[in-house]
């Protein structure tokens, strides 16, 4: 599956969908907010209704009391109008409050949904997309949708109610004049339909370049030490300048597109008023219309075209929200390409961990890293995987932990295809210490218990007890502050060796059946390494240990050594044979 969001058109399910379909999908996001939405809509409706009654009352008052000079009645109408205006103010306040909360909750749920989806996706997705772009989708694009729902949606619905009400009043006061007044709206409708896709496209392009900008910033901040060390600041400055310029151009284009509706709507609403004025005065002169009715009529025209003018701006916001939703749903529609394959049969005569005719190529390249590889690893033994840089050791280990699926063949754990194991079972059985351990901001205590559901709620003392039982407590001396040592996700403030220690303690405490150490001790001093070696020896005798290492002392205690190179994984024999192979003295038979 192609996971590249910026290349993969198939994942953009909304791109070709019409506005109504996309709107329905957007509204589906509000499923849990139905009740609040309904109450808000009632208040929006009441507010629009109250605002619509006033022109009629004013026109009525003019004809009944002002034209006939019965001024006492005007006071009564003024009081009624005041009550209506106060009620309208309260309903307006309530609807804004309600929708503000609905919008925030929706933003919260949407971000949660998006983040959970990101957690479900395979490593390959993260290989193909830049973190900065994903962050921009989770933060900026969801916020565009929130802005629409919490701010524009009330105005949007209120404008629609008001317009419909005003149109009904216009037509029922005088059918001919009403139709003439509304005729410019038809032109507006055609104009809006024709230009909306273009506006949405420009907004999508603008968001895409914001994502690229965010990725660029993230990349250079992450690598700033290397940039400074290699004096590459000019190069990155130039790259940033290009991306920033591109983002600026796209934002300007989107801004222009977003303002295209407003002047046209303004112009055509003025034409509507002009038509009413001319036609209305003609009807008054012909004795077919009253002054009071013309006043009401002009007010209703304003009530029809003003919201329409607002709708022009809101329509642009809506297009922005749609474009944001497009980019978000590109992620939401993705499926993990490592699905659970149910009902795998247990295979006889296999080791604890076995490769059966495994071939593998990374999805982004044609090159086969492993070709028809088969081997069996037994329970409780220690295996070393050696080979030249780029030979395929990490790839082999990744397949053992099902970070990827083989292109063909099977990986078996206890005779069962690991594709049939649910993620909890698999991760409980296989502990993987990566070359570059993952840390997050928090205490050493939190970092050690990361992903350890069973021991997640241990206190410091209980954790200390557990660590000393596992022979790991001595390693805490390497951290100032012990379990309370502050760890930063960037890894600043601690050494690479300390990072590897955390990953080691984390994995060992979970007591996995298979423990894979991928260059896990490369940056640790020899004294600490001996400590780790002792811990490894103290692991339950049933634990299978797989060690990938370049340093010979790390592999000398292995029960068996495998040599990984050029698509093959072969038994290397003794340590000396492995060294010979590494030095190319011997060819793999
Ligand atoms: N995500 C990826 N996408 C495409 N190719 C990859 C990816 N990761 C690794 N490779 C390629 O796969 C090959 C094997 O890489 P691998 O990391 O498994 O080697 P290794 O033996 O562990 O090397 P080292 O000793 O340097 O860690 C290399 O040619 C590498 O370029």
Instruction: Give domain 353-582's CATH superfamily.
Output: P-loop containing nucleotide triphosphate hydrolases (3.40.50.300)
Helices (H), 121-152: 123-128, 131-136, 142-147
Ligand 1 atom nearest 398 alpha carbon? 18
Is the pLDDT at 536 greater than 70? The verdict is yes
Q: How far is CA 51 from CA 38, 44, 47, 92, in A?
A: 20, 11, 6, 11
Kindly report the average pLDDT of the chain as a whole number: 82
Place of tokens 């206890």: 414
Instruction: Give the model confidence (pLDDT) of 145-174 as tens digits.
Output: 888 877 777 788 888 888 898 889 888 888
Residue nearest to atom 10 of ligand 1 (CA): 362
Q: Is the CB of 551 under 6 A from ligand 1?
A: no
Which range among 8-12, 139-143, 461-465 has the greatest average pLDDT?
Answer: 461-465
Ligand 1 atom nearest 395 alpha carbon? 18
Lowest mean pLDDT among 30-34, 155-159, 363-367, 521-525: 521-525
Q: Is the CB of 390 under 6 A from ligand 1?
A: yes
Q: Is the CB of 103 under 6 A from ligand 1?
A: no
Tokens coding 262: 């407003």
- Return the domain boundaries, the chain: 19-332, 353-582
Q: Is the CB of 400 under 6 A from ligand 1?
A: no
Tokens coding 550: 């370049």
Q: Is the CB of 280 under 6 A from ligand 1?
A: no
Instruction: Give domain 19-332's CATH superfamily.
Output: ABC transporter type 1, transmembrane domain (1.20.1560.10)
Instruction: Give the model confidence (pLDDT) of 248-258 as tens digits.
Output: 999 999 888 88
Name the residue of 2, 128, 393, 433 whose CB sits within 8 Å of the most ligand 1 atoms, as the mutation to test its pocket.
393
Residue nearest to atom 30 of ligand 1 (CA): 390
Q: Is the CB of 362 under 6 A from ligand 1?
A: yes
Contact (Cβ atoms closer than 8 angstroms) between residue 262 and residue 312: yes
Give me the pLDDT at residue 343, please.
65
Give me the pLDDT at residue 237, please.
85
Place of tokens 């059946």: 513
ipTM over 0.90? The verdict is yes
| 278-284, long-range: CB < 8 A, 24+ apart | 279/176, 279/177, 279/180, 280/177, 283/174, 283/177
Q: Is the CB of 364 under 6 A from ligand 1?
A: yes
């Amino acid at each position: 599956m192609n996971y590249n969001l910026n290349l993969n058109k198939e994942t953009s399910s909304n791109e070709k969908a019409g506005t109504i379909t996309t709107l329905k999908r957007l509204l589906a996001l509000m499923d849990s907010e139905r009740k609040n939405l309904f109450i808000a809509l009632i208040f929006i409706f009441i507010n629009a209704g109250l605002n619509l009654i006033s022109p009629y009352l004013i026109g009525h008052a003019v004809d009944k009391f002002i034209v006939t000079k019965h001024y006492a009645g005007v006071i009564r109408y003024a009081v009624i109008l005041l009550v209506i205006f106060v009620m309208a103010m309260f309903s307006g306040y309530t609807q804004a409050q309600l929708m503000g909360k609905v919008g925030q909750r929706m933003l919260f749920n949407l971000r949660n949904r998006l983040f959970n989806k990101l957690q479900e996706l395979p490593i390959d997705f993260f290989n193909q997309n830049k973190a900065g772009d994903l962050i921009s989708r989770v933060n900026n694009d969801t916020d565009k949708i929130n802005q629409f729902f919490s701010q524009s949606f009330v105005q949007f619905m209120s404008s629609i109610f008001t317009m419909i009400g005003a149109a009904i009043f216009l037509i029922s006061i005088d059918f001919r004049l009403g139709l003439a007044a509304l005729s410019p709206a038809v032109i507006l409708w055609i104009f809006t339909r024709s230009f909306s896709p273009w506006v949405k496209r420009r907004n999508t392009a603008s968001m895409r370049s914001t994502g690229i900008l965010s990725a660029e910033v993230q990349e250079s901040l992450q690598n700033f030490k290397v940039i400074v060390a290699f004096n590459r600041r000019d190069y990155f400055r130039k790259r940033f300048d290009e991306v920033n310029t591109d983002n600026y151009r796209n934002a300007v284009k989107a801004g222009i597109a977003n303002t295209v509706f407003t002047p046209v709507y303004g112009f055509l609403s003025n034409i509507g008023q002009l038509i009413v004025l001319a036609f209305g005065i003609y009807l008054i002169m012909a004795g077919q219309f009253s002054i009071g009715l013309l006043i009401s009529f002009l007010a209703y025209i304003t009530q029809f075209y003003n919201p329409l003018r607002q709708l022009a701006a809101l329509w642009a916001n809506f297009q922005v929200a749609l474009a944001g939703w497009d980019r978000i749903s590109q992620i939401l529609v993705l499926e993990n390409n490592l699905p659970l394959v149910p009902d795998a049969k247990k295979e006889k005569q296999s080791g604890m961990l076995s490769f059966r005719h495994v071939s593998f190529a990374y999805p982004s390249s044609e090159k086969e890293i492993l070709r028809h590889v088969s081997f069996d690893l037994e329970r409780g033994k220690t295996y070393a995987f050696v080979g030249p840089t780029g030979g395929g050791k990490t790839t082999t280990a990744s397949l053992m932990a099902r970070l990827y699926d083989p292109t063909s063949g099977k990986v078996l754990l206890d005779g069962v295809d690991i594709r049939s194991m649910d993620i909890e079972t698999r991760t409980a059985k296989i502990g993987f210490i990566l070359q570059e351990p993952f840390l997050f901001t928090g205490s050493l205590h939190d970092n050690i218990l990361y992903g350890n559901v069973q021991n997640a709620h241990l206190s410091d003392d209980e954790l200390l007890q557990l660590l000393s039982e596992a022979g790991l407590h001595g390693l805490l001396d390497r951290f100032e502050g012990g379990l309370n040592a502050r760890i930063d996700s960037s890894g600043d403030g601690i050494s690479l060796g300390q990072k590897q220690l955390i990953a080691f303690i984390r994995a060992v405490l979970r007591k996995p059946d298979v423990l894979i150490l991928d260059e896990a001790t490369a940056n640790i001093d020899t004294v600490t390494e001996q400590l780790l070696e002792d811990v490894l020896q103290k692991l339950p005798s049933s634990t299978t240990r797989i060690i990938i290492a370049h340093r010979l002392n790390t592999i000398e205690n292995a029960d068996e050594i495998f040599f990984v190179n050029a698509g093959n994984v072969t038994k290397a024999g003794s340590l000396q044979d492995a060294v010979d192979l590494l030095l190319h003295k011997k060819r793999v038979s």
